[in-house]
């Protein structure tokens, strides 16, 4: 089986796929027309991508049986086009849960300790111990989680170590599953609430962990953000499209909310916020951070660990070889759902 990897992929992952009996072609720079040409000429059976977009036009002359996204979600793949051609689509749901949970707390601590500002000032030759020793701390502050899938659960576990009470909402709770089942809930579990608005109102730190689907696009809007306490922290390590960026910009500007984001689409927030940005904070950041009105927006990538990507890719390829694809049904992958 010929596997084309058209994105950045660690050597340990490539070695693992090769060891499974696959012929691996690694060309991480392929994209757009070049990728379309490679798919037509190489006749690969499996395509592996991470951030690279896979469009209808690319699949027109391809001989693919499987597309694997080495990450959560399938939003970079035209699943409808793949479905029409009988191509299975698979991803790595939950495989990056620990990495994203760790990133979530990195962002929370960065906001609370104002690490980005401190580093910028230090590189400019300024040392302001008095200013940057100020922090609210995390112990005793309530963490709210919207979306209690594998990532949300990993975040909740880490919150315990910081002494943070946790409240959470998930659509699943209303169906009597997970921590919403009061009969099975333990004292160590997060306290389930009835709505995302209730979670926001109780939170000192609000963390979003929803899957992107038609029902969750711009799901986090003014009705939720306006329930946050002034000066609260807002963390989104889900897809950027889940948040109404104009509403977030308004909350940052008028309510003193401090926000951090893992992933892409920061420019959508940038377009919505106050045009005047302190140039001292803008220099050298390459759009990674904005600062305005003493409020900060941080952005960092989490990434999928190579071992997990390798396991998911080889598992999907092996199932395909033995006639049991086991990949996410393409129509279902396209539809998605709220957690």
Mean pLDDT of 120-128: 89
Helices 306-321 and 11-19: crossing angle in degrees, nearest 10, is 20
* Whether the predicted pLDDT of 308 surpasses 90: no
Taking the C-alpha atoms of residue 265 and residue 237, their distance in angstroms, rounded to an integer, is 11
Question: DSSP character for 199?
Answer: H
CB contact at 8 A, 66 and 303: no
Write out pLDDT tens, residues 83-93: 999 998 988 77
Mean pLDDT of 71-94: 86
pLDDT for res 305: 53
Taking the C-alpha atoms of residue 41 and residue 4, their distance in angstroms, rounded to an integer, is 12
pLDDT for res 12: 80
- Residue 281 CB coordination number (10 Å): 17
CB contact at 8 A, 322 and 194: no
* CATH architecture observed for domain 97-300: 3-Layer(aba) Sandwich (3.40)
Strands 143-146 and 233-236, sheet pairing:
unpaired
Token pair for residue 250? Answer: 């308004």
pLDDT for res 51: 86
Cα angle: 202, vertex 207, 211; to 5 degrees: 125
Taking the C-alpha atoms of residue 316 and residue 326, their distance in angstroms, rounded to an integer, is 7
Fold of 2-94+305-335: Rossmann fold (3.40.50)
What is the percent of the chain where pLDDT is above 90?
Answer: 47
As annotated, the residues of the chain forming the CATH 3.40.50.720 domain(s) are 2-94+305-335, 97-300
Token pair for residue 191? Answer: 């306290």
Identify the residue with better confidence: 124 or 159: 159
Alpha helical stretches, state H, the chain = 11-19, 32-42, 56-59, 79-84, 97-113, 115-123, 129-132, 150-161, 196-202, 222-225, 245-255, 266-272, 279-282, 306-321, 330-335
Identify the residue with better confidence: 218 or 306: 218
């Amino acid at each position: 089986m010929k596997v084309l990897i058209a994105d950045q992929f660690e050597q340990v992952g490539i070695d693992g796929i090769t060891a499974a009996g696959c012929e691996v072609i690694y060309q991480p720079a392929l994209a757009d027309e070049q990728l379309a040409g490679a798919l037509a000429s190489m006749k690969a059976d499996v395509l592996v991508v991470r951030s690279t977009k896979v469009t209808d036009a690319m699949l027109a002359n391809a001989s693919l049986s499987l597309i694997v996204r080495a990450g959560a979600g399938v939003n970079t793949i035209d699943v409808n086009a793949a479905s029409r051609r009988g191509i299975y689509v698979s991803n790595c749901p939950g495989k990056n849960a620990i990495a994203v949970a760790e990133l979530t707390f990195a962002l929370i601590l960065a906001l609370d300790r104002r690490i980005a500002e401190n580093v910028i000032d230090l590189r400019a030759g300024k040392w302001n111990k008095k200013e940057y020793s100020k922090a609210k701390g995390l112990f005793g502050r309530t963490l709210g989680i919207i979306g209690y899938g594998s990532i949300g659960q990993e975040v909740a576990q880490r919150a315990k170590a910081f002494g943070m009470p946790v409240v959470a909402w998930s659509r699943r709770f209303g169906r009597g599953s997970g921590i919403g089942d009061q009969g099975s809930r333990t004292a160590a579990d997060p306290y389930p609430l009835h709505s995302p608005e209730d979670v926001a109102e109780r939170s000192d730190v609000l963390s979003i962990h929803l899957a992107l689907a038609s029902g969750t696009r711009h799901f986090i809007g003014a009705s939720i953000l306006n329930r946050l306490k002034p000066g609260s922290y807002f963390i989104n390590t889900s897809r950027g499209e889940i948040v109404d960026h104009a509403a977030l910009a308004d909350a940052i500007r008028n309510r003193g909310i401090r926000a951090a984001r893992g992933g892409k689409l920061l420019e959508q927030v940038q377009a919505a916020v106050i045009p005047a940005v302190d140039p001292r904070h803008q220099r050298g950041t390459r759009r990674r951070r904005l600062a305005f009105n003493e409020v900060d927006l941080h952005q960092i990538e989490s990434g999928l660990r190579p071992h997990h990507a390798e396991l998911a890719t080889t598992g999907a390829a092996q199932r395909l070889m033995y006639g049991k694809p086991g990949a996410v049904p393409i129509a279902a992958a396209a539809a998605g759902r709220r957690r």
